[in-house]
Amino acid sequence: MASLKVEGVTVAYGGNLALDGVGLTAERGRVTGLIGPNGAGKSTLFDVVSGLRRPSSGRVLLDGRDVTRLGPARRARHGLARTFQRLELFGRLSVRDNLLVAAELGPGRRHAARLADEIIDRVGLAGVAGVLADALPTGAARLAEVGRALAARPALLLLDEPAAGQDAGETERFAALLRSLAADGTAVVLVEHDMGLVMSVCDEVHVLDLGKVIAVGPPEAVRRDAAVLAAYLGEP
């Protein structure tokens, strides 16, 4: 059974459709890519999936359970965690304390300190564990936000442009982290503009353009799709 299934989701702002009958499936043990030009509706879809925005129509299912009317906190208890395109760290807390906040509220709260330290090592932040989040370079701050999401021990992890601000070496290590998370059985959904990262780690890619899904398939097939080329490059 899919960890996430989005069925016919539509979001309207006045007379404009931000999402138009969008469907998406993400399975445990796989990295699912969600790409598209700026304004395509990717972050809006994440907001719908995580409960921050109610769709005009359509459904969101987590492990077969319809959660369309549930708020973010209840969806989190069903195993969903996410990061944001705009960093949402607690700036005056250290990296470790940011993770502790999530660990102490999640299913691993009885061993929160140990869990936070394990995640810090796993995501490669041991050298800055005591640094205030506000003082981190962007690449490290992105990793800290991913780490905080992992502290909730999610079954479904939504990542919104997590590689922004990373250099080539950081991106390569981050790709390895995503593969290891999927290997552990997590369903990962990745919104990312770094096409090299998307093509190297995703098992399947969904492409949004103007609020509609225009292509779904393996990375190589999506890369050659005429509709995708038109959306990104303006080709007819």
Q: Is 17 a domain residue? A: yes
**pLDDT tens, residue by residue, 162-183:** 999 899 999 999 999 999 999 9
Q: Is 4 a domain residue? A: yes
Q: Is 15 a domain residue? A: yes
Q: Is the pLDDT of residue 2 over 70?
A: no
Q: Is 93 a domain residue? A: no
Q: Is 231 a domain residue? A: yes
User: What is the Cα–Cα distance from 193 to 189, expressed in whole angstroms?
Assistant: 13
Calculated CA dihedral for residues 84, 56, 212, 175, nearest 10 degrees = 20
Q: Which amino acid is at 164?
A: A
> Mean of the pLDDT values across residues 39-64?
96
Q: For position 108, what pLDDT does the model report? A: 66
Number of structural domains (the chain) is 1
CATH number at residue 31: 3.40.50.300
User: What is the Cα–Cα distance from 20 to 54, expressed in whole angstroms?
Assistant: 14
Q: Is 111 a domain residue? A: no
Q: Is 152 a domain residue? A: no
> Mean of the pLDDT values across residues 31-55?
96
What predicted TM-score, i.e. pTM, was given to this entire model? 0.93
Locate tokens 């590689």: which residue?
A: 163
The domain of 24 spans: 1-78+192-236
CA geometry: angle at 195 spanning 205 and 33, to 5°?
Answer: 25
Q: Which amino acid is at 79?
A: G
Q: Is 28 a domain residue? A: yes
**pLDDT tens, residue by residue, 98-126:** 999 999 987 767 889 999 999 999 999 99
